[in-house]
Amino acid sequence: MNIVNRIQFPRTPEAFNLYLKCHEDASLSSYTDDVKVIFTKNSIVSFNTYFNSFYEKFYAQYTELESLYYLLNLQGNFLVSLYRERYGEDNRELIYKENFENCQLGEHIKILLPDSWRSEDAGRVYLEITCLSEQGFFTEGYIATDKNPVREVSLGIITCTFKKEAYVKKTVETILKDDLLQNRRLKFFVVDNGGTLDNNDFKNQNIQLITNRNVGGSGGFTRGLIEALQEEVYTHFLFMDDDIELESECVYRLFPLYEYAKQDLVVAGSMLDLYKKHILHEAGAIYSKTPSSDNNYKYKYNPFEVACINPGLNLEKSDNINLLLTDNSSDFGGFWFCAFSKESVEKIGLPMPYFIKLDDIEFGLRIKERLGYPIVYLPGIAVWHEPFYAKNPVWDTYYWIRNHLITHSIRNSLKYIDAVKFLTLRLLQKIFLFDYNSAEMIIKGFEDYMQGPSVILNNDPETLHTTIIKLSKTYKSQSIQSSSLVGSPPFAKLDTKQPQQPDFTKLFALATLNGHLLPNFLLSNDNAFFLISPDHIDWWPKAFTKKQILFYRENNTSVYKHEMSRAAGIGILMRWLVLTMKSGSKWSSVSSEWRNAFSRLTSTEFWKEYLIPF
């Protein structure tokens, strides 16, 4: 018997409905390891949930699994039903039901999954258990097969951390204490970029702590990957961020997926909102696209954006879970949880030395476009991660711009006129919001890209990063640390409607750089209040004729104040216009330099030199 999936129980109340739904006095005994479902007569537990559905469509498409069955550990008398749902259909289909009497704990009942799970009708199946006795218990459940694996799988897990000790220790402990994973071939490579961990923190023989200088996420992941490759025992690798929460089951499910896989593939984990645990933040994404304003499932071209697939879904609703059955073609796997084969690394090389931002995008694009391997976001494999709307360090913008430009050069996918067009629009937006530090980062990112590969080859990454952070604080943009201010008016009830302004007012705002060219007597000392949340970002005309803006990011206790500076706004715009006029003639040659340097920048030889101090 080989276990493919396990039924999971919730560890916290806020995520309860992602695991099971209890009806008629059924309940969970606790949120500990020794957990069980307690039934009274006629009570029902449904596993029509995100984590405990079996997504048969994906296993039929990507694996050679054939006969599958459930094993359930029950005590009492029960009616067990098995249902199927599909994308785009309103009704659920009953595909199996049977009564079981005098069930005893330790004597698993067996339920064969109908062969239709491998047909074109495959979708998502789940159990419902009804108690027929006065009392009953359910302690564990599995989906298993008797088919022998097609190949052996060993996993090198690589996590890179920078001063996130508590998260990393919890993640490692969660995975290594899993009984089934203890019987699997795996090892943790914890790369410490911040120098805050100690070998005494990790005494398990399956953990290797690697002290590394701060060369960013891409440097940390690649350092761990090089160390793991040198052991020559791992068939697959898993990159995981340091600041996540996850179920060990997500790691376990990688083993049968790769043991029975029809072809090589990348298995990526979806990202759930750490603050709203039932909300899906991202289940894949499309590069160089942004959602249309009227439809999240239609996209328009933007070379400096990434369009998330199915953002904001409430996963407590079964109809939303069914949306995940559409095999959306993602362009990459986020490094918060991304598994890939040793073979793919041997064919395409190591990640790019991006320090941070887009390292996962570029790596995934390489695998997909050059090798043709699918990037699979299997529902039920997911991590909780702090959402991007809750954080946005200004210096991020530098890496976001520079690394987008490098990625497009490697793929030869961006024309100069398009680059200037989209970056100018972004720069103007920052100026219109008095965010001069972010505008400075856009210019610096473009300037450093135009230096060609020498910006990476001839600069120490730690020194460069220090310079970028300092530059990101050039202009006055004060952060007010005040949770009481966040919870009080005007932030308590911010108007999320975009301002309805006449067209001539919008044109006037645009012509005056959103007030930068207006005389003082036309400007108000009142604040403009901006809200940034998962489903809302205020529009720049809201700040027209205001001298300062206060920004509030949902689930962030800080309020950010941007004050207007005519000299800064106009000066930045003038510098940008001069820079873009001078850069046009060099665009093609710089792009060629990046393409020519690509093989070197992704080689083991380069990385071993890059990782040591300059």
Question: The tokens of 590 are what?
Answer: 């710089």
Residue 150 included in any domain: no
Locate 241 and state its tokens.
């961020």
Confidence of residue 328 (pLDDT cuts 50, 70, 90): confident
Helices 587-601/396-411 angle, 10° precision: 90
Q: Residues 115, 237: one domain?
A: no
Has residue 506 got a pLDDT over 60? yes
Q: What pLDDT was estimated at residue 502?
A: 65
Q: Which two tokens stand for residue 318?
A: 């079964």
Residues 135 and 165 in one domain: no
Q: What is the pLDDT of residues 402-418, one digit of tens each?
A: 999 999 999 999 999 99
Domain shared by 376 and 439, yes or no: no
* Dist. CA 208–CA 291, nearest whole Å: 42
Q: Is pLDDT at 552 greater than 70 in this prediction?
A: yes
pLDDT value of position 501: 61
Residue where one domain finishes, among candidates 111, 145, 179: 145
Q: What is the pLDDT of residue 230?
A: 96
Per-residue pLDDT reduced to its tens digit, 445-493? 999 999 999 999 999 999 999 999 999 999 976 666 555 554 554 554 5
The CA distance from 209 to 482, in Å, is 37
State residue 105 phi and psi, 5-degree precision: -60, 135
More confident residue, 182 or 121: 182
Q: What confidence score (pLDDT) does residue 553 get?
A: 82
Co-location of 263 and 201 in the same domain: yes
Provide the pLDDT for residue 557: 73
pLDDT category, 521, cuts 50, 70, 90?
very high
SS3 599: helix
Report yes or no: 584 and 416 within 8 Å, Cβ to Cβ: yes
Burial zone of 219 (CB within 10 Å; 0-12 exposed, 13-18 middle, 19+ buried): buried
pLDDT > 60? residue 494: no
Q: Considering the domain boundaries, does residue 193 fall inside one?
A: yes
Rounded to whole angstroms, the Cα distance separating 387 from 323 reads 21
- Answer whether residue 495 shows pLDDT above 70: no
State phi, psi for 474 to the nearest 5 degrees: -65, -45
End-to-end CA distance of the chain, in Å?
53
Is position 74 within any domain?
A: yes
The set of residues, in sequence order, having a beta carbon less than 8 Å from that of 609 and lying 6+ positions away, is none
Q: 256 pLDDT exceeds 90?
A: yes
Stronger pLDDT, 302 or 326, i.e. the higher one: 302
121: containing domain: 2-145
* Beta strand 546-553 pairing with 558-563: antiparallel
| Calculated CA dihedral for residues 440, 445, 448, 450, nearest 10 degrees | -110
Burial state string for 342-375 with b = 16 or more CB within 10 A and e = fewer than 16: bebbeebbbbbbbbbbbbbbbbbbbbbeeeebbb
**What pLDDT digit, counting tens, does each position of 436-445 carry?**
999 999 999 9
What predicted TM-score, i.e. pTM, was given to this entire model?
Answer: 0.94
What is the model's pLDDT at position 45?
97
Q: Is residue 329 assigned to a domain?
A: yes
Domain count, the chain: 4
187-209 residue pLDDT tens = 999 999 999 999 888 989 999 99
* Residue 580 belongs to a domain: yes
Q: pLDDT tens across 569-602, in order? A: 999 999 999 999 999 999 999 999 999 999 999 9
CATH number at residue 304: 3.90.550.60
- Look up residue 369 and give its DSSP letter: I
